[in-house]
Amino acid sequence: MATIEAPVRPELHGASDDIIDDAVSFADPMVLRGLLYQLTGDPDLKAMPLKRTTMGRMEIVSPATDDDLAMLHRKAADFLKAYRDSGAGPIGHGPPERLPESFGLVLGRPVEEEALDLMIEESALDPWARALKWQAQPDPERLDSFTVMIIGAGMGGLNSAVQLKRAGIRFHMIEKNGDVGGTGYENRYPGARVDTPSRFYMNLFGVDFQNPYAFGTHVENRKYYDWVADEFDLRSDISFDTEVRSMDWDEQAAMWNIHIDGPDGPHTLRAHAVISGVGFLNRPNMPQIEGMESFQGPSWHTARWPDDADLAGKRVAVIGTGCTGYQLVPELVKQAGHVTVFQRTPQWMMGIPGYLAKSPEQLLWLDRNLPYHSNFMRFKSFYGTGPYLARLFDVDPDFKDPYTVSEGNKAARERSIEFLERKLSDPALVELMTPKHPPWSARPVAVDADYCFLDVIETDQVTLVTSGITRINATGIEAGDGSQQDVDVIVYATGFRANDFLYPMEITGRDGVTIGDLWADGGPRAYLGCMMPGFPNLWVLYGPNTNGGLPVSQYHEMTMLYAMQCMEKLILDGKESIEVTPQAYWRYNNELDAINGTKLWADPRANNYYWTKHGRTASQTPYTGFEVRNFMLKPDFDDMDVR
């Protein structure tokens, strides 16, 4: 390896042997094994004996002995020291044909054939794997005259902007908030953090962005959105504090009229295509409770947490115990005088060790200095929790149990009950906190194994009310058991209008048909989660029936690439509009509904946003990440009406 003058990793270039030795001892040994093999092809790594243990139903694979682990650390440290001494310059990721084997060495068993393409893509070794690759050079004039409007500068909208910019397609963004980040910007209640690994919240092109937490806080997550906006110079393309009120399709011009309201009042903008990145867990669901307006103190929804909220010593009521309520309360007790929690339905909790903890500094050091460490870490965490998530929702028709629907589901229930029993001293409270519905039929809640909601509800500082709410009055809340709970502040942790996709925008497509008309029968649907017949040149990110198959950023990226391939067709073929045919829309949705009817979220014991009043789910996908990727990889133009 030739020495270069300016190292690409100056931190490594200046690192002592001790720093390197210390850092590698914090690495995930299996990641080290696969990564070093990928970089060096060293046969000792492949031959290294393994031991397999189980934690619950999870298999843990690790080096068989301390000597094997020491060998691994020594090899990693030797590699890094040699790389440092050679100048820490650019370094390739080794032969692509070796990747399947290297990934297999990380897992301790071969990666399934069906998983490989997605895994390689997801490792972000090619950070632009989901960028548009033009099939032919577009006519510059035609390209320049084509415009896209992106609604929402959250995680999905930002990726759309990055990808369009890279493809050379003109765009503008409309954002209702004063800054980027969308739902991640709005949810800043105490304790707000993600419950899937932070690495999934980064795009492929952001694989090296450092989040100091394995499960990022809202503060850290926002830094990523800011980084995307700044790194790709997007801010000047965004109209902030501006909201899209309605849109209508102009048949003559084959363009969307987009009616906005912003600092300069109402305006109409026009674009050939629209990407909706408005999300589905974004518009607060405010309950209708008798007397709400009579409460004399301040009240707010968790997604509208005031920056200047001072709850020191105050009596606070929290209504709602989904992910948000359970996350909020243990943080709230650190500030408030007393917290009264109104729980209508308990949810299953999964105690995750270290959920609240920062990643060790050494691990972050490895992400920065061991080439492709972040890529291999991303691969491992994605493989473990990402594309196989859909299996959790399977119902085993031959499994007979009054509470659960499969062997795995039963084990999840038992683990959660053990967690409740370990945390709570009062068996009656364990009973009260045990949900009636099977795990995963509603959104389970990730909590820290050492400090969570269960650690505070038996303290004097918290009152748990489970008898319901009769009414709200001037001084507080009258509970179902007749007790009056006087409070200074009411916080609504009551979730979002998850099934009102695209709400409150009014969207009118061809022939005056509105999105409400299309969805009147059965609620929101879309073809591949993103296209609707009669609504040309419109793609919805994380639209109907997309939840549960893939981490959100990946769905965004796949949908955006799909949409850009449709736009490419319009631009290269000189066409004006593209939309899914009604036949394809119904074919896809009828099949999807039929499979969803067999899934766990159809369980009648669950009552939550997964299942709608129409007797179907509008949010959940029954498909695995592999199936989703196969659907989205290339548009099937036989399913499209292109004019």
- DSSP-derived letter for residue 610 is T
Q: Which of 496, 527, 539, 542 binds ligand NAP (CB under 6 A)?
A: 496
Q: Which is nearer to ligand NAP, 256 or 453 (CB)?
A: 453
The count of other CB atoms within 10 Å of the CB of residue 44 is: 14
* Spatial CB neighbours of 117, under 8 Å, sequence gap ≥ 6: 629
Q: Considering the rule CB under 6 A, would residue 452 count as an interface residue with ligand NAP? A: no
Q: Least distance (Å) from ligand NAP to the CB of residue 461?
A: 21
Nearest CA to 528 out of 599, 587, 577 is that of 587
Q: Which is nearer to ligand NAP, 217 or 369 (CB)?
A: 217
Burial track 470-483 (b if 16+ CB lie within 10 A, e otherwise): bebbeebbbbeeee
Q: Which is nearer to ligand NAP, 448 or 557 (CB)?
A: 448
Q: Quick one: tokens of 505?
A: 């925008």
Report d(CA 194, CA 211) in Å as an integer: 12
Q: Considering the rule CB under 6 A, would residue 443 count as an interface residue with ligand NAP? A: yes
Q: Least distance (Å) from ligand NAP to the CB of residue 474?
A: 19
Using CB under 6 A as the criterion, what x/- string covers residues 251-270 for binding ligand NAP? --------------------
Q: Least distance (Å) from ligand NAP to the CB of residue 328?
A: 9
Q: Least distance (Å) from ligand NAP to the CB of residue 394?
A: 20
| Window 459 to 478, contacts with ligand NAP (CB under 6 A) | 469
Region of 92-100, 188-196, 348-356, 473-481 interacting with ligand NAP (CB under 6 A) = 188-196
* Spatial CB neighbours of 550, under 8 Å, sequence gap ≥ 6: 386, 387, 389, 558, 625, 628, 629
Q: Quick one: tokens of 57?
A: 């139903």
Nearest CA to 138 out of 170, 115, 113, 160 is that of 170
Region of 48-56, 167-175, 330-338, 340-348 interacting with ligand NAP (CB under 6 A) = 340-348
Using CB under 6 A as the criterion, what x/- string covers residues 308-327 for binding ligand NAP? -----------xxxxxxx-x
Give yes or no for a contact between 173 and 258, defined as CB atoms under 8 angstroms apart: no
Question: Tokens 């339905």 appear where?
Answer: 345
Q: Considering the rule CB under 6 A, would residue 163 count as an interface residue with ligand NAP? A: no
Report d(CA 400, CA 406) in Å as an integer: 8
Q: Which of 146, 440, 519, 609 binds ligand NAP (CB under 6 A)?
A: 609
Write 630-633 long-range contacts (CB < 8 A, 24+). Answer: 631/528, 632/528, 632/558, 632/559, 632/561, 632/562, 633/558, 633/562
Region of 40-48, 94-102, 189-197, 454-462 interacting with ligand NAP (CB under 6 A) = 189-197
Q: Least distance (Å) from ligand NAP to the CB of residue 289?
A: 6
Q: Which of 287, 291, 360, 582 binds ligand NAP (CB under 6 A)?
A: 287
Q: Considering the rule CB under 6 A, would residue 495 count as an interface residue with ligand NAP? A: yes
Report d(CA 248, CA 265) in Å as an integer: 19
Q: Least distance (Å) from ligand NAP to the CB of residue 12?
A: 33
Give one DSSP letter per residue of 56-124, joined into a string.
TTEEEEEESSHHHHHHHHHHHHHHHHHHHHTT--------GGGHHHHHHHHHTSPPPHHHHHHHHHHTT
Residues that bind ligand NAP (rule: CB under 6 A) add up to a total of 25
| Window 92 to 131, contacts with ligand NAP (CB under 6 A) | none
Q: Considering the rule CB under 6 A, would residue 497 count as an interface residue with ligand NAP? A: no
Summarize as ranges the residues that interact with ligand NAP (CB under 6 A).
193-195, 281, 287, 289, 319-325, 327, 342, 344-345, 443, 469, 493-496, 608-609
